[in-house]
Every structure is written in C-alpha cells, then in structure tokens.
Amino acid sequence: MSDSAWQFPHRRYNPLRRQWVLVSPHRTERPWQGEVNTSSGFPDIQYDPKCYLCPGNDRAGGKKNPVYKGVFSFDNDYAALLPDSPDPGTSSRPELLLAESERGRCRVLCFHPDHGLTLARMAPDDIRQVVDAWSDQYQELGGVPAINHVQIFENRGTMMGASNPHPHCQIWATEHIPDEPATETNALIEYQKSHGSCMLCDYIAIEKAEASRIVCENDDFLVVVPWWAVWPFETLLLARQHTGSLAGFSDRQRTSLAAILKQTTTRYDNLFETSFPYTMGFHQTPTDGNEHPEWHFHGHFYPPLLRSATVRKFMVGFEMLGMPQRDITPEGAAERLRVLPDLHFTLK
C-alpha cells in the first residue's frame, strides 16, 4: 500500500492483543463542539501541607510519612487487594456466575519528595533511583509464593483519574495474571512457537528498518508509536535486548531506561505545553515460577489528549461496541513527537 493510501480508512492488526484498530485519518478535519477541559499546567509547589504523600505529612489513612529524601514506598492504605481473601463460595452457582478469591498486595511508590515534579521534570539520576526501586519491588513482591504477577503503573494527571498530583506510581501484585498481560503472554507464546523467534525482537527490527514510527531511542531502548496504536499519541517502550523483566537489566540498562523515560515524557509535555496526562505501565515476565522465554520487557504509555491540552480522545460509541478507532496515523503522531526537543521548555 502506498503512503497516500494510509490517509484513507483502513484497519491495522495488534499482534500483542490479537485485535484490530480502525484508522480514519480524514476525520481530523471534523469540527469539535464537545467537551473542552482545563489545561493542567505545571505545579510549582515543592511542598503541600495538605498532600498526603509529601514528606512528614499525615496520610489519608492516619499514618505519618517519614521525612523521606528520595524514593519512598508503603502499602496502600486503601488497597484494592489484600494478602488474605476468603473464597466467595460460588461452587453451587451456574458457570455463568463464576467468581473466585484474589489475594495480593498494593503499594504506593513516591518518586521524589518535591511535590511539583513529574518524571519529565526530574533529574535523570533521580529517575534512576525510581528504576532501581521498581526493580526491587518487582523482585520482592514477585518472590511471594502467592503472587504470580507484578503490575507497575502510573496514572498521571486528573484526566487519568490521579487522586494526588505528587509524583508517584502504584504497584499491584496479584495472585492471578491479569487479562492484559495474560493476553500478551498467550500471543507471545504462539508467535514463538510458529516463528521460532520473539515477536517483539522481530518487531523492533521492522521499526528500525522503517523508522517512520520511532519517537526516540538510545543504546538500550526504543520508543515508537506502535503500528497498532489506539490512543492518539500512544507509545510503546521496548528493550532492545531480549530481557524479560527489570530484574534482568544491567546497571547501564537501568540508567538508559531512566534517560528514555525522561526523553519520552518531556516530549509529551512539549507537545501541547502542558503537564501531559497519561497512564503508563510496564509489562514483564510473570512471577508464577514458570519459565517464560517468550517474554520481552516493554512499557505502554496511554495518553488521552487528542487535539490540544484541553481536548481529549473518548472511547465511546463504535469503540465500545465495535472496535478501537483512531484519527491520526501512528506515523503522523510519531513525527509530531519526534521533532520536539528533549529539553523541558519550562526549565530555567
């Protein structure tokens, strides 16, 4: 298909999720009279006495934070999962009404004591401390016998439901492998069986050859707007080396991950000159005790903004009832992010 043909409606296949996405580039010209949000701007408060994540403050659950100087983690005071959960006893119910217990742990990890920072505005050395903490948490929680998956994720901005602007992420460790990574696991296994190689290793080679969807890269990581992207400025962070988890990274790779995270989030902020909202998370080897040679570490960025800092993409109508749909081609989105500077425009 020629480049011009991509400007007409077509659909693209996502091999990780084994689903299709409809691409309709001509819809970018349609007028917008829908919801317009308020731009989040950039916080400039280093300490908020009312913030339950700032050093020394009381948390919502009543416990007091230490006066931490770097990364700080704690068990979530309002955890969605508990170490012990009784069986709901559904054995006598019909198979269409199944339920089962789910044990787990939920933690909060504060990136930095400065209330006004984000990954984009943090120093690379400080982000490296966060990367080390992520690796430690993955190994600690994944080593618990009842835990089979560790999900690290960050919701950034009120548009993505973040309840507190302090720089932090969450870590949910679950007894069962959740649907998204389970779907990816099955797809990676089937691809390896049929091709004798890793899906994401092969995908990296394709992206390097075509280059049109690359946003930024370094010696150890590549960030692209994936061929199958659903969200307008969605990106996929890929480890160049076939490594399953943070635990397998070398010292250099951890430093490189910190650098590529800063580059990516800085480009996001510079796109619409706002503190860019997103949900970000890493998918890595399940901790179920089994060998997983198919697994290749990667991270997903799902930002909601569409046209500006105040107009977002909604997943409604056809997206909910039919299939995902996007207006901007992945190639066009990658070009807009790629040409942006790595330096945060708010830095003095």
Residues 175-201: pLDDT tens digits? Answer: 999 999 999 999 999 999 999 999 999
Cβ count near 52 (within 10 Å): 18
The rounded distance, in Å, linking the Cα atoms of 317 and 319 is: 5
Task: Give the pLDDT confidence of 228-272 residue by residue, as tens digits.
Answer: 999 999 999 999 999 999 999 999 999 999 999 999 999 999 999
Can you list the positions of beta strands (E) in 187-269? 214-217, 221-224, 235-239
| pTM, full prediction | 0.93
Split at pLDDT 50, 70, 90, the class of 2 is low
The rounded distance, in Å, linking the Cα atoms of 136 and 73 is: 11
Q: Which of 115, 149, 168, 300 is catalytic?
A: 168
User: Is 300 known to be catalytic?
Assistant: no
Q: Which two tokens stand for residue 226?
A: 């994936």
- What does the pLDDT read at residue 176? 96
What domains does the chain contain, in order, with CATH numbers?
38-86+98-175+197-338 (3.30.428.10)
Question: What is the average pLDDT score of the chain?
Answer: 91
Q: Which two tokens stand for residue 95?
A: 């198979």
Chain centroid, CA 100 distance in Å: 27
